[in-house]
Structure 1
Amino acid sequence: MLNNAWKKFIHVSKTNWIIRTIVAILIIILFTISLIRFLSIPKVESQNLNIRKNPSPYAKVIGNVERGQSLHVIKKNKNTGWWKIKINNQKGWVASWLINKEKYNAKNSDNIAETTIVLDPGHGGSDAGTLSAEDDKMEKVYTLKTALKVYHELQNLNANVLLTRDSDKYVPLANRAYLSYASKANLFISFHFNSSNGMYNANGYQVFKYHKNADTFANIIDKKFENLPMENRKVDFGNYYVLRNNTQPAVLLEMGFMDNTHDFKLIKSDAYQQKIASDVRMAVQEYFKD
């Protein structure tokens, strides 16, 4: 019997061989595609995720996804990070940046984790910003150092934190404002240090805002900064591009004067930068408090 089967096999026509080969290749391709799709289905590694009616931390919670469940992703918004999913015949939105955070549990967390915050270290690259009194230290260095400390503070709250720059590079003002718009940021915070244009007699920190939607956060963060060893120059209107052309709640922080000896001693210190970062984190927590 085996002998007859072998004879039939080796005497198959060339045409049939080609057909069988093509069919086999197609089967392998289809199997590979199915396997890739199966392996690429995201699984929830956090303890629990909210499903919201709309892609916003303020939207109604309509369900939850537990650890180990697979997500059928219908749509991904690469700008905001929100994914539209379907699970158990229910459609809704989840904050994708929380999927792999193993310790995150929506049931006992505040909604800060589902917010997007854009941090804007002022200047950079060919734009040095203002200079210290000796003209040897550049503002751009300290705006980045400070913003990175804030970044780590907010990352610890599981928020989706975006930086307009994370290195010494030039970023046009329009790009900074656009990132805030495209990501639908819940907050935009721009970091700067001031100058008295050679007078050397001005000092202190100040919070600027432009649109009404920034009033609440501007007042909260100004209050948190009262523990800083600097004069409080109070909240004021600031006609700056990154505020004026920003649709999201946006503030610009001037955290001391580069050309003031007292202020600059603080500005260049890690301790002062970390104090700013801690105060910003507390202000964010208060702003998003349920």
Structure 2
Amino acid sequence: MIKKWLLSNLIGVSISVFVLMTTFGLVYSLANKDKISTGPDNVQLRSGPGLQYRSLATLKRGTDLIVLKDDQGWYQVRRADNEKVGWVASWVAKSHTLRHATPISEATIVLDPGHGGNPNKRYNGLSGDNGSSSADGKYHEKTYTLRTARQVRDALAPTGARVLMTRDSDVLVPLLDIPKLATKYHADAQISFHFDHAGDENSATDATGITQYYYQENGQALTSALHNALNSLPMTDRGMDTAKYVVLNRASQPATLLELGYINNPSDFKKIQSTRYQKQIANAITKGLTTYFDNEAGKK
């Protein structure tokens, strides 16, 4: 009888303990699901969801934050220690690899490898586009814009910046979608990659070098910073200019278009197809962007 009573009550107690533990776990989970603790040092708490907003405070590693809202990767947060409210770049605040945040760490950078897709296929109603071709017609611009953009993405990774690719395979992205993507994610820089082609007015052996373009006024400083950095490359500097390309004149964010050599000039193409040159471009762009964002942060 006593044994039966003990067994019955033991089962009841076990069920009660299980219910209490489950309830506690659920409450704890709900209470902490919107909390983060900053990974790097020097995380900026800003007045709005973007690098262009002023800094309200600099947060140390391990600062506890309560997430109130998410705006395309920018978190509106409240500090757990003093109730101050502001915005942080989520990819910076939650990083476990970045030790010290810098201005470029907070940046969203859109990389746009020009052209793409099979000309015999349709993409959102548009035919694929090889872009320009090498002198022998065997190699296409779309291949090297993508390879170069990937090198830039990899070079930017250690900075902590958020990098978005308009394409990462052989597909066509409608031109109007490129500035729309940059606007959607509050991009701080939109960079389009291309390789030039000599027309009838130039011989393929005479046309050589790098040209940078912008259209909107807010893209001039970005283009200038990249122009200065790309001067280190083993390629003729053709300077920078304005151009009414769709990806530039429809851009609301700072945007630039880079022509990184003449694909139908055999000498230029030898560089264009080399991994060495692509990495040189990537390192120069990373350096230029770092300088650009340092300067932009200094204006606030």
TM-score bin, normalised by smaller chain: 0.7 to 0.9
Match of 1:37, as an amino acid? L
Cα gap change, 1:163 to 1:7, in 2 (>3 Å)? closer
User: Of 107, 111, 116, which aligns to 1:124?
Assistant: 116
The C-alpha deviation readout for 1:216-270, integer Å capped at 9, x for no partner, is 2222222222232322222111111110110011110001111111111110011
> Aligned match of 1:105 in 100, 105, 126?
100
How far is 1:60 from its partner? 2.7
Give the match for residue 178 of structure 1. 180
Equivalent residue number for residue 86 of structure 1: 78
Gaps of 5+ in 1: 10-20
Counterparts of 1:269-288 in structure 2, within 5 Å, are 269-288=274-293
1:72-221 aligned at under 5 Å gives the runs 72-77=66-71, 79=72, 81-87=73-79, 88=81, 89-98=83-92, 99-106=94-101, 110-126=102-118, 127-197=129-199, 199-201=203-205, 202-221=207-226
Cα deviation, residue 163, structure 1 = 1.1
Matched residue type, 1:75: K
CA contact (8 A) 2:98 2:160 kept: no
* Structure 1 residue 186: Cα displacement: 1.1
Secondary structure of the equivalent of 1:118? strand
- Normalised TM-score (structure 1): 0.84
**Which residue type is aligned with residue 55 of structure 2?**
V
Counterparts of 2:55 and 2:209, CA distance in 1? 43
State the SS of the aligned residue for 1:86. Answer: strand
Q: Give the equivalent residue in structure 2 for 1:17.
A: none
8 Å Cα contact 1:47/1:102 also seen in 2: no
- AA aligned to 1:124 is G
Shift of 1:30: 5.2
Q: Shift of the alpha carbon at 1:84? A: 0.4
> What are structure 2's unaligned runs of at least 5 residues?
10-14, 119-128
CA shift in 2, pair 1:3/1:245, >3 Å: same
Q: Residue 233 of structure 1: SS of its match in structure 2?
A: strand
RMSD: 2.8
Q: Normalised by the size of structure 2, how large is the TM-score?
A: 0.81
Per-residue CA shift, 1:91-112, capped at 9, x if unaligned? Answer: 1111110122344234xxx311
Identity over the aligned pairs, expressed in percent? 34
